[in-house]
Amino acid sequence: MKLKLKIKDRVSLIVYVYSLRQASNLKKYGDLKYVSKRMHYVILYVDKSQLSPIKKRISHLNFVKKIYDSSLSALSKELADRTIKESVKEGD
């Protein structure tokens, strides 16, 4: 019997907060990966399927200034496409 593991698509959110004390409360919404003490923002990873309800809930919290979707996934796809094209050109 083979055990199949599915990798969930995750999206990173950049959440700007007024105070870093409450930033740890964001752990219940996703994986808290980075906290910037100087710039007062948090990088939070959430499941792609749960993105819109989580953004809506987080935006109603009183310590949250702004929420941005990270463009890292689009950037990594572009870089992957570019490296594939370059390797094909080198092979020709």
Q: What is the full DSSP assignment across 5-64?
A: -PPPPEEEEEEEES-STGGGGGGGTSEEEEEETTTTEEEEEEEGGGHHHHHHHHHTSTTE
Q: Is residue 3 part of a domain?
A: no
pLDDT in tens, 38-48: 999 999 999 99
Q: If you average pLDDT over every residue of the chain, what do you get?
A: 85
Chain centre to alpha carbon of residue 1: 34
Q: Is residue 75 part of a domain?
A: yes
Question: Which one-letter amino acid corresponds to residue 27?
Answer: K
Q: Is residue 23 part of a domain?
A: yes
**Number of separate domains in the chain:** 1
- Reported as a pLDDT band with limits 50, 70 and 90, residue 85 is low
pLDDT in tens, 17-59: 999 998 889 999 999 999 999 999 999 999 999 999 999 999 9
Strand partners, 42: 15, 35
- Alpha carbon distance 89, 15 (integer Å): 40
Q: Is residue 4 part of a domain?
A: no
Q: Is residue 31 part of a domain?
A: yes
Q: Is residue 65 part of a domain?
A: yes
State if pTM tops 0.75: no
